Amino acid sequence: MDKNIKEVVKEKYSIIATQSKSQNESSCCGGTSCCDSIDYTIFSDDYSNEQGYVKDADLGLGCGLPTAYAGINKGDSVLDLGSGAGNDCFVTRSIVGESGKVTGIDFTDEMLKQAKINNEKLGYKNVEFVKGDIENMPLKDNSYDVIISNCVLNLVPNKNKAFAEILRTLKPGGHFCVSDVVIIGELPKKIKENAEMYAGCVSGALEKSKYLQIIEENGFKNIEVNKEKEIEIPNSIMLKYINLEELRKLKRDKIGIFSITVTAFK
């Protein structure tokens, strides 16, 4: 089952890698099928004012700004999980400077190709992109001061393995900062199914408390949610599946889809 999920993700993001940000924003979580022409910017944060921002590397696929909360310092060694075309890596490079090192890992050949093209244009010698699976990374133990990720871990089938790998590859005392999609409360089945069609990033999302529990169970300390933002699904779509009173109850109980940015220490 997990292998099938990975193949679907790989196929989908191989196509996304060849599209522009504007194309990705006008489809479902950067997908290729049209879902009522809904704008994917409901997930993504604006990077354009960030130091080190590279427009060609921004495919509009994030759901937060992990670099803003990651506490990255000059000279740090930083790993970006699911680095795509390199957007977060290049922002990170502007923080770590010449004395630091930035590594991006992705398992999609097309994404790695785009990232390397972007990096060649910039001429960075301390930024590298490697191919690998986040559940079993071809990276050494205790290698990174900080690990970041942006709207990727929700797509990983086995999140226990992913966080175990984060723990393994972090240096003692190191930390991670990830932006991801979670569910708060229990969505009605029909709404959840529609949400998955409407924004594919939701399909692997866990309930928030379960997500944080997995982090704790893998041995991380000082877990903190730095930012939480609700992702609004239009009422017009919700009302196709539930009635008005049910919709009001969901809003009253604050049940829904959220992006969160979380930090935790090894």
Classify the C-alpha dihedral 168-59-113-157 as positive or negative: positive
The predicted model scores a pTM of: 0.83
Please choose, from the candidates 67, 69, 123, 115, the residue with its C-alpha nearest in 3D space to the C-alpha of residue 95. Answer: 67
192: tokens are: 């959840």
Give the count of domains, the chain: 1
Provide the residue type at 148 as one letter: I
The boundaries of the domain holding residue 27 are 2-265
As a whole number of Å, the CA-based R_g of the chain is 18
CB 87 within 8 A of CB 72: no
Are 150 and 62 a contacting pair, CB within 8 Å? yes
Q: Residue 229, class by beta-carbon neighbours within 10 Å (0-12 exposed, 13-18 middle, 19+ buried)? A: middle
Report helix, strand or coil for 168.
helix
The one-digit pLDDT tens for each residue of the chain (266 residues) are 454 655 655 556 545 545 544 444 444 444 433 344 444 445 566 777 778 877 877 766 678 999 999 999 999 999 999 998 899 999 999 999 999 999 999 988 988 999 999 999 999 999 999 999 999 999 999 999 999 999 889 888 899 999 999 999 999 999 999 999 898 988 887 776 666 555 555 666 789 999 999 999 999 999 999 999 988 777 887 888 889 998 898 889 888 888 999 999 99
Whole-number pLDDT of residue 180: 92
Q: Which residue in this structure is represented by tokens 């997500």?
A: 211
CATH number at residue 237: 3.40.50.150
Question: What tokens does 181 get?
Answer: 């999609």
Would you say 118 and 90 are in contact if contact means Cβ atoms under 8 Å apart? yes
What pLDDT does 186 receive?
84
> What is the Cα–Cα distance from 188 to 209, expressed in whole angstroms?
18
> In the block, which residue shows the tokens 């086995």?
158
83: phi then psi, degrees, rounded to nearest 5: -75, -10
**SS3 (DSSP) at 62:** coil
